[in-house]
Structure 1
């Protein structure tokens, strides 16, 4: 039985780790080649480009062809972030490799802003109004890039025209959450409701920071009726687009009101906090994509959180350090991490939300302090 799997993403570590947990051998192409990604991968190919930009099609095809030659017969190709605004490239990839995930047509239906807004209107799913022309009063609007991910592409609207590939979306109130699910093209099974937060900068006020899932004994993050309504709307969209595999529905919730802002048709940033069930999530993703809805098993008892640690200064080069066990996406020593770029990911678990968040903040602060000391004293171990 084939146990190799091809992975392509802006950052492939989380998918590679999930593949190992599912008993698969990952062959990874991504932008970073972080040290833990290289340790997890059977083989790795570095992709050209930058975070937030569409991948180079020819380079991605060539890299995956090389990996496929090394892997031999494989389960197929799983795509992570970075391909949302490139359905044409996804179609080319699917012509060369067995695609395990959203098809090019599904991506086009979900990630084209106008098509998605029309779909939500037809299905009766609450969705913020969008426009292509500059709003008369920009204070109530945002500027977004179609197919963007990670929140770095979102700005406050102005009276200027939208750049190519961008659109305007009205502001709506509410706190950000996500309904995480697995879909078989017709129905969904809910994995969890995750809470999200931002790490704003003056020019990137909506930059994604992290996510948390509460413990099973806590008060739920959202009322049951709201979750049911979001799940019902998400399932209607899944049935209309044929979405398969792991995905998430990003929502803003304000009291009893909610708005669906987007569907992420891929395994996402919450893999680190959700892949703790008896059934490995990548195994569930593959099964659902092949038409069999998996048995997910019970939810983990503890709360879990993951947070991107953005560089508060430039690391050029990144020092040689012994990274703590709770750190993922570890940059290679000697590489360069620019100020405000993602430096690594910090994980934490706890009996409840409060405990997990407190440990997450303590670990992030300890990591920053340790890196500062390491820069000054290269022989001092990072703790």
Structure 2
């Protein structure tokens, strides 16, 4: 029988499907319990909480212990998003289960803003200035939540003090990219350089929307020399922190200048785009975490894109919709999706970036039209 694997994250569908592709049996705990998550999971437990904040520690531990009992002898635990601001909880996970990913100590090094800024300074990595006190010129600064993910926590700074668990970061120019890598605690292998974009709202101007990875035959998203510099910086930080597994370095690029904004020490939102190589990426993640960096095989030939479709109105309840094959993270019929919350994820592939993005936009528009028609 295939090995069982525990998964805990905010939204577990991508990791559950990646586990199936890697020949594993996923036992999943997440916030949503989407239809395709339940279909992929060997067993499922719901987590309490709200998207963008760490789930309740006691209930998360109980859910994972219950899943581990159902699994018998799981290979270990893989974490997705939602725990970067809870290193103490991650440490408790590691005491109960074999943790396949970043340790609590690594997460502190990468996600504590003061520690990460100092780490970048020691290794000569360009990183925006950070501050804990209110800035004198707030228009030049942003307010961020420590350990936040998805961009929805980022606001324009004011002269007010930062709330608990927040900090200020200097604004820098540039377009958003990510260098997606596999790390073994000493070195990295590059998976792709992806381009990212936002779905802003008046109160969430930096909310993450989606990403695209280019086809093998088209010009790369970033010049080779720039990728080499970013990869070298990322590798130095990996060696300094012992980071293992799938990770992404979020960067802003402005011509020849670039800044490392953060490193996400976990499989991220682009897993669907990246997991198209001959070697299943979750299997590679586990191998790297156990000290054996695998060969990944040739990169995908075509381009791929994915974006989150946020609800433009409240769906209470969600209708029993006939979701097209390109849609993932499908909410269960009868569940509730609040306005501006993630509704689903739309995927598209193409020969090149333009074709993938055009198809992505047309599919998203068709989906919204079909949902609106079903409403009426």
- Normalising to structure 1: TM-score of the pair? 0.98
The offset of 1:338, in angstroms, is 0.6
Aligned to 1:151: 151
Contact 1:248 1:268 in 2 (8 A): yes
Supply the distance in 2 between the matched residues of 1:54 and 1:293 (Cα, whole angstroms): 30
Rounded to whole Å, the distance in 1 between the matches of 2:164 and 2:301 is 46
Aligned length in residues: 376
CA–CA distance in structure 1, aligned partners of residues 85 and 236 of structure 2: 22
Q: In 2, distance between residues paired with 1:2 and 1:37?
A: 19
Work out the CA distance in 1 between the residues paired with 2:360 and 2:46. 30
CA deviation after TM superposition for structure 1 residue 55, in Å: 1.5
| Match of residue 84 from structure 2 | 84
Counterpart of 1:119 in structure 2 is: 119
Deviation at 1:368, TM superposition (A): 0.3
Deviation at 1:146, TM superposition (A): 0.5
CA distance in 2, matches of 1:184, 1:269: 20
Q: Any conservation in 2 of the 1:245–1:286 contact (CA below 8 Å)? A: yes
Partner of 1:219: 219
2:109 is matched with which residue? Answer: 109
In the alignment, what sits opposite 1:327? 327
Residue 231 of structure 1 aligns to a residue in which SS?
helix
The answer to whether the 8 Å contact 1:13/1:37 transfers is yes
Find the residue that maps to 1:319 and give its secondary structure. coil
Question: Counterpart of 1:343 in 2: which secondary structure?
Answer: strand
Consecutive unaligned residues of structure 2, counting only runs of 5 or more, are none
Q: Which position in structure 2 is the counterpart of 1:175?
A: 175
Q: For 1:176-195, list aligned pairs within 5 A.
A: 176-195=176-195
Gaps of 5+ in 1: 377-383
Paired with 2:133 and 2:179, the residues of 1 have a C-alpha distance of 31
Provide the rounded CA distance (Å) in 2 between the counterparts of 1:54 and 1:374: 34
CA distance in 2, matches of 1:336, 1:87: 30
Instruction: After superposition, give the CA deviation of every residue in 1:151-173 in whole Å (9 maximum; x if it has no partner).
Output: 00000000000000000000001
- Name the counterpart of 1:274: 274
Q: Counterparts of 1:76 and 1:65 in 2: how far apart (Å)? A: 12
Contact 1:182 1:188 in 2 (8 A): yes
Spell out, residue by residue over 1:15-71, the C-alpha distance to the aligned partner (whole angstroms, 9 max, x if none).
001000000000000000000000000110000000011111110000001100110
TM-score, structure 2 normalization: 0.99
Q: Which residue of 1 aligns with 2:364?
A: 364
Which residues of 2 match residues 246-285 of structure 1 at below 5 A? Answer: 246-285=246-285
- Runs of 4+ with >2 A deviation: none
Q: Conserved in 2, the CA contact under 8 Å of 1:2 and 1:75? A: no
Q: Over aligned residue pairs, what C-alpha RMSD do you find?
A: 0.6
Deviations 1:115-160 (A, max 9, x none): 0000000000000000001111101100000000000000000000
SS at match of 1:75: coil
Residue 245 (str. 1) matches residue 249 (str. 2): no
C-alpha distance in structure 2 between counterparts of 1:184 and 1:47, whole Å: 30
CA shift, 1:306, in A, is 0.4
> Does the 8 Å CA contact 1:212/1:305 hold for their aligned counterparts?
yes
Asked if 1:228 is matched to 2:225, the reply is no
* 1:73 positional shift: 1.1
CA-CA distance at 1:90 after TM superposition = 0.3
Q: Verify the 8 A CA contact 2:2 2:25 in the aligned structure 1.
A: no
TM-aligned CA deviation for residue 293 of structure 1 = 0.7
CA apart distance, 1:192:
0.3
Corresponding position of 1:44? 44
Contact 2:195 2:211 in 1 (8 A): yes
Q: Is the 8 A contact 1:2 1:73 kept in 2?
A: no
Match of 1:54 in 2: 54
Judge conservation of contact 2:2–2:23 (CA < 8 Å) in 1.
Answer: no
Shift of 1:75: 1.1
